[in-house]
Amino acid sequence: MLKLYLTRHGETEWNIEKKMQGRKNSPLTSLGIQQAQLLGNRLKETPIDLIYSSPSERAVQTAEIIRGERDIPVINDSNLLEMDLGAWEGQTFDKVKEKDPQEYHHFWYEPHLYSPVNNGETFTKVLERALTSVNQWIQQHKGQQILVVSHSVFLKRLMNYFENQPLDKLWADPYMHSASLSMIELDEKQAKIVQYADCSHLESIHIKTT
């Protein structure tokens, strides 16, 4: 049985500015760094065998902060990149809503109807590449504990799949807070969600825990 710990990168400047990030990068804020440190403290007694991270700088930095002084390999995996949002990347949510109101609505409220804008990626494609890596890990890391550092849309799509929920339920609670912690136990035959977007380690910085 593989134990998969999953987290989203710490808060970034574009998160504060309400900008769509996708494949583009934005640096962690001081709060984002603190979030990663608190998650690292929570996991410091958990025997993590290795860390897989999205190659995005915000995710790699989060992974390295969580690792701290421990001798744990951090491996970049391009399958863990955030959803490619095409022309929306770097624009504010309000600007995207103004420019592409229908697809913006589909993205957030009817994701099963979403059609990418200007060479963006589908939710189906995100899941396909996510499962490519997960299936490899199941074969390669039996009995191990792995930490995955990725992004909000990527992680929500993966958890949506493991919950056996339809795509139109993608954005159902819980919210995937920065540096929240999820955990799945899985093998070739089954997957069990043990924890989903828990934020109890972030209470000291007033992050909601429900």
Active-site annotation holds for 128: no
> Rounded to whole angstroms, how far apart are CA atoms 202 and 180?
8
The response to whether 124 counts as a known ligand-binding position is: no
The response to whether 12 counts as a known ligand-binding position is: yes
> Rounded to whole angstroms, how far apart are CA atoms 30 and 12?
9
The response to whether 157 counts as a known ligand-binding position is: no
Output the six-digit token pair for 94. 């309000």
The response to whether 106 counts as a known ligand-binding position is: no
Q: Measured on CA atoms in the order 163, 169, 173, 178, is the torsion positive or negative?
A: positive
The response to whether 58 counts as a known ligand-binding position is: yes
* Given 9, 151, 177, 201, the catalytic residue: 9
Active-site annotation holds for 9: yes
* Residue 55 one-letter amino acid: P
**What is the β-pairing status of strands 181-186 and 74-76?**
unpaired
Output the six-digit token pair for 147. 């930490």
> Rounded to whole angstroms, how far apart are CA atoms 60 and 25?
11
The response to whether 15 counts as a known ligand-binding position is: yes
> Rounded to whole angstroms, how far apart are CA atoms 131 and 160?
12
The response to whether 88 counts as a known ligand-binding position is: no
Distances (CA, A) of 97 to 24, 102, 151, 181: 19, 8, 21, 30
* Given 82, 89, 103, 121, the catalytic residue: 82
Beta-strand runs (E) in the chain: 2-8, 50-53, 74-76, 145-150, 181-186, 191-198
Name the residues annotated as catalytic.
9, 82
Which residues belong to the annotated binding site for substrate? 8-15, 58
